[in-house]
Structure 1
Amino acid sequence: MQSNKTQQGGVLGVFPHYHWRATEQEVDMAMPAPAPRPLRLNAEPQNLVIDLRRTAIVVIDMQNDFCAPGGWVDHIGGNFAADRAAIEPLQALLPALREAQVPVVWVNWGNRPDLANMPPNQIHLYKNSGSGTGLGDPLPDGRGNVLEKGSWAAAIVDELAPLPGDILVDKHRISGFWDTPLDSILRNLGVKTILFAGCNTDQCVLHSLTDANFLGYGCVMLEDCCATSSPDFCTQATIWNVKKCFGFVTDSTTLLAALQAPPA
């Protein structure tokens, strides 16, 4: 991802796709957009041509609380290992996307310590009996509070540590678009197509994807870069619904092959 921050004065806006140039006499709002960089991609239910210069990958909730030993899911007896299935494909894919200058956007639960913006229905979602370990409650062994911003619990797993130039967005609901700056950031980047990855496939990934669809983005689910501890029928229903209503489905192997193919 490239930014205009290093250019000379007069540039208003930090990304190449959307900026103005200003002088004392004039503001030029008609800056030319970068030329498309088409990429042909096998997908279902139809094959695609996407513009790499207007594409971003959004990786959702690959956090210690979901994916690491000693995290929240592990603590409450869930199958955290299932959520780790997305790590290896992402380790292979993300360097190639960065090399192609596709922005990498990490969207993670990052709750306020006081839960001041968290209504009762969201707290109930993960603590439906009113007792136990839910949002903001402490984990054992000093690992922090569940999904609290700045804690080990909410950090991205070590295997996928973000790099400089990646963009991090905190979310506070299952959807990454609700009450967050994600849509504004993507629009300033000039993004038209979003590649979706992360966990859980049938929950935060799906509902972020559907919100993106409603906002007008082209949505592509990378099936092997998504994971869930839910039963398999949840994954199958999610994939079916994405292909039927909300976008397209492919995988990291297919995308890597397309990125590595010689230009047409």
Structure 2
Amino acid sequence: MFMGVPTMGGQASSESTAPIHDTPILGFKTRPHVQSAQEWGNPSNFWVEYPSGLVDLTRTTHLPADANEPELKSGQFDLPVDGDRVIRLDPAKTAYVIVDMQNFFLHPDLRAHPKGLACVDPLLTSVPALRSQGVTPLWVNWGLTPSELQTLPPSLLRGFSRPDTSRSGFGGTMPGDWGKLLMRGEKNSELYGPLQVLYEEGAKEGKDQWVHKNRMSGIWGGQSALDLVLKEMGITTLLVAGVNADQCVLGTMIDAYYLGYDIVLVSDATATTSPEGGMENVVYNAGGSYGFVTDSERIVAAAKA
């Protein structure tokens, strides 16, 4: 049992029972602001963080010699995030990754997901707001091909099957006109209602892109469609939203984090069917470890500023 910090004489101090060194993962509810300006990373891939709470993710201005905050440059915008911070974004290097907001996961005829449906309105406001700033919306969705069905691992096949009912798993024919389960081009694989319209409007303008995935993570493995798109576009920062928070959203978010992308969770546009702890864990780690947390209201306000 830890009894305190040892003193030079070998006795444990009774003044502290906290570990000598702590990290956000091990206990910070809110990461403290830096006490002096700090540059994180290396000469080509870096953030600069200031005591005011500004974190510059644009990778355009190294820490100035005087450590003063740089002025907001034309084309950049500042987005408030949790922890009394503001992140500075370069829209040309930023994408809005929206995961699995599809009929299969949201439509009331297929399942009850009221929390997922509650994410629709935040997306209907935040997507146009980010488009107006030059951020690219990427709709990352299940969309399997017949050949991919032959390569899916047993754990995934088992997880998406219902042996206690007549329902089949991936590729199985669904009732009515919903088509084959999560196969490309099928009605159940389309975005839910107004989100399909929102995507089509953006695609027609050349702003939105649809990216297929074939695992719970949208950016798994050595080479994924999403990673290729992001690299071709020069994207470094991802705003992430969708369903389910602790499954496909988390898988995509954490794999992107491992690959070095900046992570910003849009909390009110993200939901799960899991018990409350599932969403709480995702939000906690998104803000304390992987990156930052914001919401649609702050996005809309920042776009209007």
The aligned residue for residue 176 of structure 1 is 218
Residue type at the aligned position of 1:220? V
- The number of equivalent residue pairs is 222
Q: Does the 8 Å CA contact 2:160/2:169 hold for their aligned counterparts? A: yes
Q: Does the 8 Å CA contact 1:171/1:178 hold for their aligned counterparts? A: no
Q: Secondary structure at the match of 2:141?
A: strand
Rounded to whole Å, the distance in 1 between the matches of 2:127 and 2:249 is: 17
Q: CA RMSD in A?
A: 1.9
CA deviation digits over 1:136-178, x for unaligned, max 9? 2221113111111110011111211213221111101110002
Q: Secondary structure at the match of 2:118?
A: helix
Residue type at the aligned position of 1:146? L
2:95 to 27, 31, 56: 56
1:145 to 149, 163, 180: 180
Q: Does the 8 Å CA contact 2:129/2:299 hold for their aligned counterparts? A: no
Q: Gaps (5+ residues) in structure 2?
A: 1-59, 61-72
The farther-off stretch of 209-218 and 177-186 is 177-186
Aligned-pair identity in percent equals 35
Rounded to whole Å, the distance in 2 between the matches of 1:247 and 1:118 is: 31
How far did 1:129 drift?
Answer: 4.5
Q: TM-score if structure 1 supplies the norm length?
A: 0.78
1:42 to 73, 76, 80: 80
1:122-133 correspondence runs (5 A):
122-127=156-161, 129=163, 132-133=167-168
Q: Does the 8 Å CA contact 1:200/1:226 hold for their aligned counterparts? A: yes
Q: Which has the higher contact order (CA 8 A, sep 6+)?
A: 1
Q: Secondary structure at the match of 1:107?
A: strand
The aligned residue for residue 302 of structure 2 is 258
How far did 1:187 drift?
Answer: 1.4
The aligned residue for residue 121 of structure 1 is 155
Q: Secondary structure at the match of 1:221?
A: strand
Q: Gaps (5+ residues) in structure 1?
A: 1-32
Q: TM-score if structure 2 supplies the norm length?
A: 0.68
1:64-143 correspondence runs (5 A):
64-71=103-110, 74=111, 79-113=112-146, 115-127=149-161, 129=163, 132-143=167-178
The farther-off stretch of 42-51 and 57-66 is 42-51
Rg larger in structure: 2
Q: Secondary structure at the match of 1:133?
A: coil
